[in-house]
Chain A
Amino acid sequence: MRTKHKLWAALAALGFAAGAAQAQISGNTVKIGVLSDMSSLYADIGGPGSVVAAKMAVEDFEKAHHPKFKIEVVGADHLNKPDVGSQIARKWYDEEGVDVIVDVPNSGVALAVSQVTREKNKAFIGSGPGSSDLTGAKCSPNTIHWVYDTWMLANGTGTAVVKTGGDTWFFITADYAFGHALERDATNAVTKAGGKVLGGVKVPLNTQDFSSFLLQAQASKAKIIGLANAGGDTINSIKQAAEFGIVKGGQHLAGLLVFLSDVHGIGLEKAQGLILTENFYWDRNDKSRAWSKRFAALDNNKMPTMVHAGVYTSVLEYLAAVSALGSDDGGKVIAEMKKKPFDDPLFGKSYVREDGRNVHDAYLFQVKTPAESKGPYDYYKLLATIPADQAFRPLKDGGCALVK
């Protein structure tokens, strides 16, 4: 009788312990919030495609690991406004049980979301934003910067262009956090490689007409016009530069951040020859091709950008960490993700640094000529691979307080 009693007690204790472990995942549900620009100039870079990518990751994770917890995906539009973005983040965290926010193109919004996430001890994994400040002066123990950043772009494209003789620069910069960071990082890269910056102009976000600014760039006589902008802004500047005979006049454009969707929107006729840096291209290997075709079938036959690929693998890795830890505590999950290197299905060998920077290879691509391209989305040829240890800003240079 007494032994039976002990057995019951032991069982009860076990059950309680298991229950406690279970309870660490709040509501036994992991809720993923995809916060993006769903309707404006960055909507093709992240946007609805990022929701598709997050759902694909959940599907694949559930199929492979049969987790005991439920997983939900929600999406929202931050309208490229930091105040709207942080409001949504607060509401998600406080009222709707969201555990992690992913994507968030637009660095201004991303910096605000990173702040809120830290206050609430949740997790933020940014694939969309560019500003290298996210892992520099404004780094956070609750934030991982997943795909690319302005330092990587500036270092990749800027250095390559200076090496081919483009040693004088004029910047056309989007007037907000991302553009400023990109111009700053590119200026450093250009100067370091022996080039010189002659001037620049800061342009309000989402501008239709760039002719005034292109004219100023033309007057500067710089060999290279660096476009420190993204999405619709980059598309319009490149199109209108062709119209104003910039390239025919001997000046060249350097698109510091050009996505696959932008090249698709500009058309090869005008985009050919552009040099750009990205971490992912759908046609790079068998794995990326297989995944991208699956993605395209779910998203109006559009091939994924590196941001979409980033949302997919960041959700996969996040879920793996939650599962291993048995907890959805934001700070702990992010710390878990930093523990060991992993083999990313789309970005290859990767590891997350103390400052929150996810480090992997970057690639220098050139846009094909219409004659070289075999069809829609056959746009890039590989010029060089920038190995992971050189692709990102050295840990000590960022000024992140988490780095000891």
Chain B
Amino acid sequence: MPALMGQLLIGLINGSFYALLSLGLAVIFGLLNIINFTHGAQYMLGAFVAWFLLNQLGLGYWWALAIVPVALAVFGMLIERLMLKHLYKLDHLYGLLLTFGLALMIEGLFTQRFGSAGMPYSMPGKLTGGYALGFMFLPTYRAWVIAASLAICLTTWFVIERTKLGSYLRAATENPSLVQAFGVNVPRMITLTYGFGVGLAGLAGVFAAPIYQVSPQMGSSLIIVVFAVVVIGGMGSIMGSIVTGFGLGVVEGLTKYFYPEASSTVIFVIMAIVLMIRPQGLFGQR
């Protein structure tokens, strides 16, 4: 039993990464109708920018938490303005191909420059150590990641679903020309939204840097799982991606305990089942 409690908690920790990343994807898909395959590469860039800030400019983790999301958001907005903008009228497939190609290019360039073993990023001094919970040892840093990511996810949900700004955003996806007629600058709103989604990916990258290796493939190994999370939760559903992210983290954690060999496939098995029974996803609307 104590072992199981530990696995549950660890599942929640991994789930918080899934939730953060799938949230960004859901926001982007919900408002832009773009399947952002660059998300994994943008998460990786977040970790690399944090590494760069620390090793080249001497700016530590807390600075990275503030700077990286903004830097990545700007990068995202550039991509949106220069490339994605031209694809909105075309089929989903074009956006998917463009973002997938971008991801491959970014990852290729970083592998070429930094190699695959990756870079170490040391943990911020205040967050080292941990708590003995009886059933397991909880590193302080992981506790911080759960708390921070939960706070960010819920705030995002609140802003989009419960505030006036959020209602503009949602209205713009339903009927952009009408919202435009009310004097709202829809293209700018879309640019900012994409920037926000990418910023979230960057932030997740900073969270990941001290635990995982800062390496060019860190995004590609995670992004497929995150896409499965979005599909299971329901494309474009904000709450769906948050709940599914945490939930699947737990399911994966339990699999790692009961049948570790299947831990990398269990999420896709669930995805297949969900698609058969409820194709719009658990929280999606028909």
Contacts and interface: CB of A to CB of B under 8 A. Distances in A.
A213 interface: yes
A245 B218 CA distance: 24
B14 interface: yes
B248 to A, nearest CB: 13
A236 B212 contact: yes
B116 interface: yes
Contacts, number: 116
Contact of B117 (A39, A218, A264): A264
Interface in B233-261: 253, 256-257, 260-261
Contacts of A213: 256, 260
A206 B7 CA distance: 20
Nearest to A37: B116
Contacts of A41: 116, 217
A265 interface: yes
Nearest to B141: A243
Given A232-B217, A249-B137, A201 B117 contact: no
Interface string A244-270: 110001000000000001101111011
Interface stretch (A42-50, A150-158, A391-399): A42-50
Interface residues of B, number: 40
A300 B49 CA distance: 20
Contacts of A265: 117-120, 213, 215
B185 interface: no
Interface string A27-63: 0000000000101111110010000000000000000
Contacts of B116: 37, 39-44, 47, 231-232
B27 interface: no
B137 A218 contact: yes
Interface of A: 37, 39-44, 47, 175, 201-204, 206-209, 211-213, 215-216, 218-219, 231-232, 235-236, 239-240, 243-245, 249, 261-262, 264-267, 269-270, 300, 302
Given A202-B260, A232-B213, A243-B211, 7 more contacts: A43-B116, A204-B265, A208-B218, A212-B7, A212-B10, A269-B120, A269-B122
7 contacts: A204-B265, A212-B7, A213-B256, A235-B118, A243-B211, A265-B117, A300-B113
Top-3 shortest CB links A-B: A265-B117, A267-B120, A43-B116
Interface of B: 3, 6-7, 10-11, 13-14, 108, 111, 113, 115-120, 122-123, 130, 136-137, 139, 141-142, 211-213, 215, 217-218, 221-222, 253, 256-257, 260-261, 263-265
